[in-house]
A and B are shown apart, each in its own frame.
Chain A
């Protein structure tokens, strides 16, 4: 039996099996999430265009999304895969105004200082990001007399919307 035959047989067999159906479901699910991602990219484009001269931090929990943003808008990405030295370098460039936006999936809490950021965009995804919204809120409030904006982009008619509503009603945003 050739390997190509085996692969084909698997595809046919999986269509019949329980596992195959679940795999197909998972595929559709990921497609749906990806579509939500497209909508978020459009929303982000609008937000960035509204604040072309302001230092902006874009936060999303999904690594894949961070790199999509970085690739589309050509802005630095900071994730757990970013070498420490490079990460430091980009934060310096950001604070000096040599780059205007950073996309990140990292919780920026390890002594990271971004006093110049005045816009934060949170692209909600799966998983709990409540903590990150709180933290970004604190970062933005840091400089005195500074006007700061925090956006949260959620996909309508999904659980995200519900989670976000709960979060907005929570004490730290009152």
Chain B
């Protein structure tokens, strides 16, 4: 992903959009290939050497920001680590304390100090030299680079520009056209996977309008939330039958709107793992359930329930030994306010018992919730199956 300083936008009146590159531009494709080749050529070498080579390539050209953006995306595919097996802090301790006896160390005696420290550490002198400042970012070594073709790099650059625009979103309005239950489920699944705060209006017959809070409207954990909203975009792009309008905060000339539809093909999704995706909470719960279920059955829900003008999209359904069921929704980011609104909306529903599970890790405000009703389960970072079962038992009792 791009850092916000690398974001480039255009603006016309109240419209705003990411400034995209032409993915068919031959000279830009050549540049993308060069940059990827430079990175690939630095496997086993230091970050400092790689940075110097990239700086040399970028020079002082006018498309500096585009090149820096491409480099950032390549950097995301790199893994650096401290070379060798010695721990730099231990090496420094040994070397500098030993050197104090010969302070100031003359150029001629430096090698001797290192050699003595190396003997003490049971290491070779050249490994001690390398480890001495081996943990500085510049000295870390490129151990892994996931290659990417030039066309693919330009595509992901365009996607990353669109994502960077969403860091500044105040809110997003997503209109979902009438479609199959599977289609709805896919879109709601994407919203939930990235834990976005949202309300849903509409019905399965007429389609839905989803209002999503943007990171700018958040008082707490807004950066973390911004990243979630950004990674939501490729998942959304992999769905059909929608259009979205995001209000973008622009300091200088007031808010502007970024519009996109599923029919737009300029920004391509790199999202491929959609079918298998579930929120991490759901994954863990399903895996742990068999040991702790005690007669209750837990299954993933595939329903989109209409609740008087709103939609309820439970993640799970619990079935008690007597056959009664409890819908479970795992909220993502939340605030006491959004939780209250959700409870109010669901309270009027005629679909039976429900539980809302919320994590303290995703509380997006500094306010703590007050007294919680019995159909809210508050948990820290992982939801214990026993806690969920106990809540269901209380609810059905």
The digit string for B21-65, where 1 denotes a CB below 8 A from any CB of A, is 000000000100110111011000000000000001101111000
Contact with B along A118-140 (1 / 0, CB 8 A): 00000000000000000000000
In angstroms, how far is the closest chain A Cβ from the Cβ of B341? 42
Known contacts A73-B105, A83-B89: does B37 contact A7 (CB below 8 Å)? yes
How far apart are B118's CB and chain A's nearest CB, in angstroms? 13
CB-CB contacts below 8 Å: A55-92 with B = 67, 70-77, 81, 83, 86, 89-90
Tell me, rounded to whole Å, the shortest Cβ–Cβ distance linking B260 to chain A.
34
Q: Please give the distance in Å from B26's CB to the nearest CB on chain A.
A: 10
Contacts of A77 in B (CB 8 A): 133
- Tell whether B294 is near chain A: CB-to-CB under 8 Å: no
| 18 A-B contact pairs sorted by A residue (CB < 8 Å) | A3-B37, A3-B40, A4-B37, A10-B34, A18-B60, A19-B60, A20-B59, A49-B104, A70-B133, A71-B132, A71-B133, A72-B110, A74-B114, A76-B96, A77-B133, A86-B92, A100-B100, A100-B103
Q: Is the CB of B30 within 8 A of A1?
A: yes
> How far apart sit A70 and B99, CA to CA, in the bound complex (Å)?
11
Query: How near does chain A come to B128, taking the closest CB pair, in angstroms?
Result: 11
Would A75 and B133 count as touching, CB distance under 8 A? no
Which A residues are in CB contact (< 8 Å) with B57?
A: 7, 10
- Identity of the chain A residue whose Cβ is nearest the Cβ of B113 in the assembled complex: A74
Q: Which residue of B lies closest to A24 (CB)?
A: B59
A99 contacts the other chain (Cβ, under 8 Å)?
yes
**A118 CA to B96 CA in the complex, in Å?**
20
Residue of A nearest to B36 (CB): A3
Assess whether B104 is in contact with A22, with CB atoms less than 8 Å apart.
no
Query: Are B34 and A81 in contact, CB atoms less than 8 angstroms apart?
Result: no
Return B150 CB to nearest CB of chain A, in Å. 10
Min CB distance B81 to A, Å, is 16
The reply to whether the CB of A31 lies closer than 8 angstroms to some CB of chain B is no
B136 in the interface, Cβ–Cβ < 8 Å?
yes
Q: Tell whether, in the assembled complex, residue B59 and residue A14 are in contact, meaning their CB atoms are under 8 Å apart.
A: yes
Instruction: Output the least CB separation between A68 and chain B (Å).
Output: 10
Return chain B residues, CB-CB under 8 Å to A4. 37
Instruction: Determine whether the beta carbon of A99 is less than 8 Å from that of B100.
Output: yes
Task: Place the interface of chain B in its size category.
Answer: 20 to 34
Q: Which residues of A contact B287 (CB under 8 A)?
A: none
With a cutoff of 8 Å between Cβ atoms, the chain B residues found around residue A89 in the complex are 93
Contact A75 to B99, CB < 8 A, known contacts A19-B59, A19-B60, A83-B89: yes
B137 within 8 A of A: yes
Which residues of chain A in 1-18 are interfacial with respect to chain B, using CB atoms and an 8 Å cutoff?
1, 3-4, 6-7, 10, 14, 18
Q: Within 8 Å of chain B (Cβ to Cβ): is A143?
A: no
User: B residues within 8 A CB of A1?
Assistant: 30, 33
Contact B60 A3 (CB under 8 A): no
B106-132 vs A: 1/0 string, CB under 8 Å? 010010011000000000000000001
Q: How many residues belonging to A are interface residues under a CB distance threshold of 8 Å?
A: 36
Are the CB atoms of A6 and B97 closer together than 8 Å?
A: no
Instruction: Write the nearest CB–CB distance from B389 to chain A, whole angstroms.
Output: 43
Q: A71-B132, A74-B113 are in contact. Are A98 and B34 (CB under 8 A)?
A: no
The interface of chain B, by Cβ under 8 A from chain A, is 30, 33-34, 36-38, 40-41, 56-57, 59-62, 89, 92-93, 95-100, 103-105, 107, 110, 113-114, 132-133, 136-137
Q: How far is the CB of A33 from chain B (nearest CB, A)?
A: 15
Residues of chain B contacted by A70 (CB below 8 angstroms): 133
Contact of A74 (CB < 8 Å), options: B37, B60, B96: B96
**A3, A86, A90, most chain B CB atoms within 10 A:** A3
What B residues does A86 contact at CB under 8 A? 89, 92
Q: Are B30 and A6 in contact (CB under 8 A)?
A: yes
Closest Cβ of chain A to B119, distance in Å, is 15
In the complex, the answer to whether A81 meets B60 with C-beta atoms within 8 Å is no
Task: Name the B residues within 8 Å of A10 (CB-CB).
Answer: 34, 57
CB-contact partner of A3 in B34, B89, B92, under 8 A:
B34
Q: In the complex, are the beta carbons of A23 and B60 less than 8 A apart?
A: yes
Contact A19 B104 (CB under 8 A): no
**A90 vs B96: C-alpha distance in the bound complex, in angstroms?**
10
CB neighbours of B56 from chain A (8 A): 23
Q: Select from chain B the residue with minimum beta-carbon distance to A2.
A: B37
CA distance A101 to B89 in the complex (A): 17
A26 CB within 8 Å of chain B: yes
B37: which of A6, A19, A100 is its contact (CB, 8 Å)? A6
Contacts A6-B33, A45-B104, A48-B103 known; A23 to B59 CB distance under 8 Å? yes
- Taking the closest CB of chain B, its distance from the CB of A27, in whole angstroms, is 8
Which A residues touch B30, using CB under 8 A?
1, 6
Measured between beta carbons, the chain B residues less than 8 angstroms from A7 are 34, 37-38, 57
Structural contact, A74 and B59, CB atoms closer than 8 A: no
1/0 per residue A22-64: CB within 8 Å of B? Answer: 1100100000000000000000010011001000000000000
Closest-CB distance, B139 to chain A (whole angstroms): 9
